[in-house]
A and B are shown apart, each in its own frame.
Chain A
């Protein structure tokens, strides 16, 4: 097989990394709130809540799910969905729950700092 590779320019790679990070968090939160769910369900939920973010390229969720699984944050198994079709169900592990807590805290902290920063006016800085 001739090596062809995937031409990604620099800016595109950055965007993908950020997207992956937030996608992982959203997937974890979804599983936390809704309990065990299959891939399609997670995708739909994220789409509903985040609006445009996952309106297209929903397939990018699956590598993210694999990464989370290999990190030990979620576990998966085959199961039967509502209409008795075979689907892979994902579930949050204890490690994943802890991870979610930490990440949520970090996000809130970051958001608070940014908010404070934006609230400061020019005169306050002198």
Chain B
């Protein structure tokens, strides 16, 4: 209580800046006067009386200091004083201040930028209430080699009744033609159980969403749209609720609009860009709906009951699965080993980018560290120049820890300035940075400089300031006063301890730079190998444009209902495509035939003559193309033939497979003539089970059309005229103008059918580049960091060698005067610099091996201990070090002994 009153009184004095000097002086004067009087009465003369009084009183200065210390808050007063002094000192050497602040700004700015990315992507990717309760439910059939094989309706109902979940929701994704608005376009939609919005816990911006209790079977005609679609297609019409739109020619009614930030937590970019939600339900009566073993291509997402951990829920679920397997042995054959897995939604979303982002964070942390080391070096150099000043101050009575505090204040001021500058840079460049980030990174939240990020920036600044401030501050506190004061000029040698510290710092800098450069080099090589991997097809001068044939619910309005109708349309499209300017070849294919689509589109494979009872069939990638496709992409045929005009809707179905598929399923045999059937996989519209047996007529070479990293993905192609998909792509090869083609194709297609949207025009080269996007992003950033680190390290070594040369100017002068050759001086200095660099390289190599092994998952085609990369990087580092040493070395060489010896 007393302490509090005292503190408050002191705070008040500090805040009002009151210094009651007058009162103290009067009281002291009064005291001295009385004592003098008494001394006079005791018999002393006037001067003696006064002198004795003063001596008895004690040190006036000390009393005043204690009084002032008691009056105000000495800690804060000192802090203010130190800050003002620090500002003046920094202003006096603007060059040094600018470099230090810039270095810090770069380091802290980069750290902040990457951290805000990590924050939006890893730490808070799910902007829903209680996101830890959201899970994805995946069915696995490990016995048949299938993961995430889809759920059946009776299983879904079992999950709903299990008591583990508050809500379980089915989702199916697709695209549809949006018409009934000004310009036909394509729209991503999602069919969901009505509980979807209740599960995610987000309220609509306008109107309403689905009632979770709604059990009406089938698709509803009421839809909810996204804010983006509302702005894009309806011009933010305020009377949007109740308006109608047509999806694939079917009429729907808008009942609500979701808020701008809302996105579906899907796994792919397409799913996350869902713009329209329709509700779907399956009938309750098990006899009416699909059966238990019919797995549908649906996603299942659920929200756990509050308080239930994922592990506990998983064990409940395992028990449920076990009992269902016993109950229905026919539907769950023992060797398929059906299991159901819960994956936290956040994990699902960010799992595969986590490693890259952690790598980035590590890289940027290293850069910040190197920046700190550099600034520490700069400060040390400055400190040694000020060593006389420090010695004088201490001789005058300054307390050591007061001086240390003052130096730390300077460092903190530098780093805080750097931090603020860094934040400002990041803020200004936010737009530019956002564009660098590939779309495949899950970013449900927008990148923002929120409080967490700013707190991290502040913490980084303070930590940096303390780190690089400690070395010079400690050194100032340990000065030997007499020696420092006696030596003239700027100190002849500086303390050996200080020089050693500087060398250690430079070695560390080089080590850290080496680690970063090795990481960048390995990533670069991975990227290059991937980029240069033989594609197996030729993407040069090829463009693809997509269009979508509607699948209206009413078959009477479907003009592309039969294979014959669609074949007519396809042939007409091809004919007109060949007439477009610059086109040499044209082909049509289903959407999965577009290379590097990353759309999982697999069907179950049933080979004739192979036993499949009781087992779940394997899945293969399936697509439909016109015969010209293979020639257009320059994929060679190895055996048999390609499709021809005889393979139409009346002829038996034929297929062309790739070498990988032949090897996998018909190893050692000739696959030509073999027959198979295809069942439904996890495909979208148009992938119905094949009606009859399909005969293999040809085998083509493997190509990296599914993944750049893997050439041996089993693929099967069917003729587009026999099996007619709804999602199509037109392929064009020739001397094409990429900016004119989209419009020309649109005009051409809409001249055949004006209701068809045409979209997604891209060159195949762009498709290849896009599939490399995420890797390129990591590589670019790490490379940028590595270059920055190298520059900083070069600056560091330049500083140290310069400083050493300056210190030893007299010694060099003496040597030269005594007859040493200039070349030897040069060699001596260079040797010093090289020694530091080599020590740094040795340390760095050890660190690099550790880091590269940690990064192994991100590399392709290059081992973590790739000799070429390591050797190359080390050589580059050495070269840079030599270059940086050369300038001060030359200066050493050109020392004029007369001047050096005379300079005091």
Contact = CB atoms under 8 A, between A and B. Distances in A.
Binding between chains A and B: yes
Interface of A: 1-8, 38-40, 43, 55-60, 62-63, 66-67, 70-73, 85-88, 99
B123 interface: no
B51 interface: no
A63 B2 contact: no
B6 interface: yes
A59 B60 contact: yes
Contacts of A73: 2
Contacts of A99: 2
Interface string B676-707: 00000000000000000000000000000000
Given A59-B57, A99-B2, A5 B23 contact: no
12 contacts: A2-B393, A3-B78, A4-B396, A5-B397, A43-B31, A56-B56, A58-B57, A71-B5, A71-B6, A85-B33, A86-B30, A88-B27
A108 to B, nearest CB: 20
Nearest to B5: A72
Interface string B53-65: 0011111101101
Interface stretch (B66-74, B151-159, B481-489, B496-504): B66-74
Interface stretch (B398-406, B593-601, B824-832): B398-406
A59 B399 contact: no
A59 B6 CA distance: 21
B56 A63 contact: no
A67 B6 contact: yes
B75 to A, nearest CB: 13
Given A3-B81, A4-B398, A62-B28, A70 B70 contact: yes
B553 to A, nearest CB: 83
A38 B56 CA distance: 18
B430 interface: no
Interface of B: 2-3, 5-6, 9-10, 23-24, 26-28, 30-31, 33-35, 55-60, 62-63, 65-67, 69-71, 78, 81-82, 85, 393, 396-399, 402-403, 406
A56 B62 CA distance: 13
A72 B2 contact: yes
A59 B63 contact: yes
A85 B399 CA distance: 40
Nearest to B34: A40
Given A4-B393, A58-B57, A70 B28 contact: no
A57 B61 CA distance: 12
B26 A86 contact: yes
A63 B70 contact: yes
Given A70-B5, A70-B70, A71-B5, A5 B63 contact: no
Nearest to B30: A87
Given A39-B31, A43-B31, A70-B9, A6 B397 contact: yes
B397 A55 contact: no
B6 A88 contact: no
B5 A88 contact: no
Contacts of B5: 70-72
Contacts of B397: 4-7
Given A4-B397, A8-B399, A59 B23 contact: no
Given A3-B402, A4-B397, A39-B31, A66 B63 contact: no
Contacts of A66: 67, 70-71
A7 B85 CA distance: 20
A58 B62 contact: no
B59 A59 contact: yes
Given A58-B31, A59-B63, A3 B406 contact: yes
Given A60-B66, A70-B6, A72-B5, A3 B398 contact: yes
A99 B71 CA distance: 21
Given A5-B398, A62-B24, A86-B30, A67 B70 contact: yes
Contacts of B396: 4
Nearest to B38: A44
Nearest to B35: A40
B30 A85 contact: yes
Given A4-B398, A88-B27, A70 B58 contact: no
Contacts of B31: 39-40, 43, 58-59
B30 A59 contact: no
A82 to B, nearest CB: 10
Given A56-B55, A71-B6, A5 B69 contact: no
A43 B57 CA distance: 10
B243 to A, nearest CB: 73
B27 A39 contact: yes
Given A3-B402, A72-B5, A88-B26, 6 more contacts: A2-B393, A3-B78, A3-B82, A3-B398, A4-B398, A59-B60
A2 B396 CA distance: 11
3 A-B pairs with least C-beta separation: A57-B58, A59-B63, A70-B9
A39 B30 contact: yes
Nearest to B60: A59
Contacts of B30: 38-40, 85-88
B81 A1 contact: yes
B49 to A, nearest CB: 15
A62 B57 CA distance: 11
Contacts of A3: 78, 81-82, 85, 393, 398, 402-403, 406
Given A40-B31, A70-B6, A72-B5, A63 B23 contact: no
A57 to B, nearest CB: 4
Contacts of A1: 81
A55 B56 contact: yes
Contacts of B6: 67, 70-71
A55 B67 CA distance: 20
A47 to B, nearest CB: 9
B63 A60 contact: yes
A70 B10 contact: yes
B65 A6 contact: yes
A59 B10 contact: no
A71 B5 CA distance: 5
A60 B70 CA distance: 12
Contacts of A88: 23, 26-27, 30
A71 B7 CA distance: 8
With a 10 A CB-CB cut-off, give which of A58, A63, A73 has the most chain B CB atoms: A63
A63 B82 CA distance: 24
A2 B399 contact: no
Contacts of A55: 56
Nearest to B389: A2
Contacts of A63: 63, 66-67, 69-70
A4 B395 CA distance: 10
A116 to B, nearest CB: 30
Contacts of A87: 27, 30
Nearest to B399: A5
Contacts of A4: 393, 396-398
Contacts of B34: 40
A58 B55 CA distance: 9
Contacts of B71: 66
Given A7-B398, A71-B6, A60 B28 contact: no
Contacts of B67: 62-63, 66
B659 to A, nearest CB: 80
B58 A56 contact: yes
A99 B3 CA distance: 13
Contacts of A59: 28, 31, 57-60, 62-63
A55 B82 CA distance: 37
Contacts of A71: 2-3, 5-6, 9
A72 B7 CA distance: 11
A19 to B, nearest CB: 11
A38 B5 CA distance: 23
Contacts of B24: 62
Contacts of A86: 26, 30
A25 to B, nearest CB: 13
A67 B24 CA distance: 13
A98 to B, nearest CB: 10
